[in-house]
Amino acid sequence: MDLYDLYQEVIVDHNRSPRNFGKPEGYNRIAEGFNPLCGDRLTLYLRVDDTGTIEDIAFEGEGCAISVASASLMTECLKGQPVSKAEALFGSFHKLVTGGESEPGVDLGKLAALAGVREFPSRVKCATLCWHALKSALNEK
Ligand code: ZN
């Protein structure tokens, strides 16, 4: 199995059984995302505490395998993390899927499974949809 197959497996797995799927109790941030190019839709829910920690994060919606797997991986990575880390990850993830240099000192972990998207520019919006929703949810005051 090469690295590409491994990445594919992560995407297939997260699409088949998305993590953190549903509407969490007591969320205090919400944002919706829609990618008209592909038809992906999602609603992102967050509970951010007073110290700026993402206590809970979950999503609902439907879309292609890339969009669902990306949202699933994102929520898994961000649960329990400070908002500042989420913003750093967004920058680094965006570079990963658009083919830019990765940010030094930012470990993308499982998010790296989506690196293959850079070969398919039309799918970049699928992979970044949840991240753009995250950004608007965090900027909403
Ligand atoms: Zn899509």
Cα(49) to centroid(ligand 1), Å: 31
Work out the pLDDT band at 101, boundaries 50, 70, 90: confident
Cα(112) to centroid(ligand 1), Å: 18
Q: Domain count for the chain, please give it.
A: 1
Predicted TM-score (pTM) of the model is 0.93
Cα(42) to centroid(ligand 1), Å: 11
- pLDDT attached to residue 1: 53
Which tens digits make up the pLDDT trace of 107-137? 888 999 999 899 888 899 999 999 999 999 9
Q: How far is CA 46 from CA 20, 41, 62, 108, 128, in A?
A: 11, 17, 18, 20, 17
Which tens digits make up the pLDDT trace of 23-63? 999 999 999 999 999 999 999 999 999 999 999 999 999 99
By CB atoms closer than 10 A (0-12, 13-18, 19+), residue 85 is middle
Cα(39) to centroid(ligand 1), Å: 6
pLDDT at residue 102 greater than cutoff 70: no
Cβ–Cβ < 8 Å for 128, 94:
yes
Q: How far apart are the C-alpha atoms of 23 and 66, rounded to whole Å? A: 21
The CATH code of the domain that includes 56 is 3.90.1010.10
State which residues form the domain around 44.
3-139
Cα(111) to centroid(ligand 1), Å: 17
- pLDDT attached to residue 100: 78
